[in-house]
Amino acid sequence: MGRKIGIGVVGMGWMGNAHARAYLQAADRFRGEIPQPRLMACADAVLSRAEEARQHFGFERAATAWQEVVADPAVEAIDITTSNDSHREIAVAAAAAGKHIYCEKPVGRNPEETAEIERAARAAGVMTFVGHNYRWAPLVQYARELLAQGELGQILNYRGRFFVGYASNPHAVRSWRFQRQQAGWGALGDLMSHVADNALMMAGPIRRVVGSARTFIAERPLSEPGSGTHFTLRSGGPTGKVENEDYAGALMEFASGALGTVEVSRVIDGPKCEMAFEVFGTGGALSWSFERLNELNLFFTDSPGARSGYTRILSGPEHPFHARFNPGPGVGLGYDDLKTIEAYQFLKSIAEGKQREPGFGDALAVARVLGLMSRSWESGRWEEE
The pLDDT tens digits of the residues spanning 100-128 come to 999 999 999 999 999 999 999 999 999 99
Residue 306 has pLDDT above 80, yes or no: no
- Enumerate the β-bridge partners of residue 130: 103
- pLDDT digit string (tens) for 368-382? 999 999 999 999 999
At how many degrees (to 10) do helices 14-29 and 335-352 cross? Answer: 70
- pLDDT digit string (tens) for 80-101? 999 999 999 999 999 999 999 9
Residue 227 has pLDDT above 90, yes or no: no
Residue 37 has pLDDT above 60, yes or no: yes
CA gap 177, 260 in Å, rounded: 27
CA gap 359, 314 in Å, rounded: 29
Give the closest residue to 222 by CA, choosing from 268, 261, 178. Answer: 178
- pLDDT digit string (tens) for 181-190? 999 999 999 9
Residue 307 has pLDDT above 70, yes or no: no
The CA-to-CA distance between both ends of the chain, in Å, stands at 45
Pairing of strands 239-241, 219-221: antiparallel
- pLDDT digit string (tens) for 237-259? 899 999 999 999 999 999 999 99
pLDDT at position 237: 83
pLDDT at position 385: 84
Give the closest residue to 345 by CA, choosing from 357, 337, 360, 334. Answer: 357
- Residue 127 is inside which H or E element, if any? none
pLDDT at position 226: 64
- pLDDT digit string (tens) for 265-286? 999 999 999 999 999 999 999 9
Give the closest residue to 259 by CA, choosing from 330, 158, 165. Answer: 158
Which pTM was predicted?
0.95
Residue 312 has pLDDT above 60, yes or no: yes
CA gap 257, 280 in Å, rounded: 13
What's the rounded mean pLDDT across residues 200-220? 98
Q: Across the chain, what does the average pLDDT equal?
A: 96
Answer yes or no: are the C-beta atoms of 245 and 215 closer than 8 Å.
yes
pLDDT at position 234: 84
Give the closest residue to 347 by CA, choosing from 13, 19, 18. Answer: 19
Residue 1 has pLDDT above 60, yes or no: no
Residue 229 has pLDDT above 90, yes or no: no
Structural domains of the chain ordered from first start: 4-134 (3.40.50.720), 137-330+360-384 (3.30.360.10)
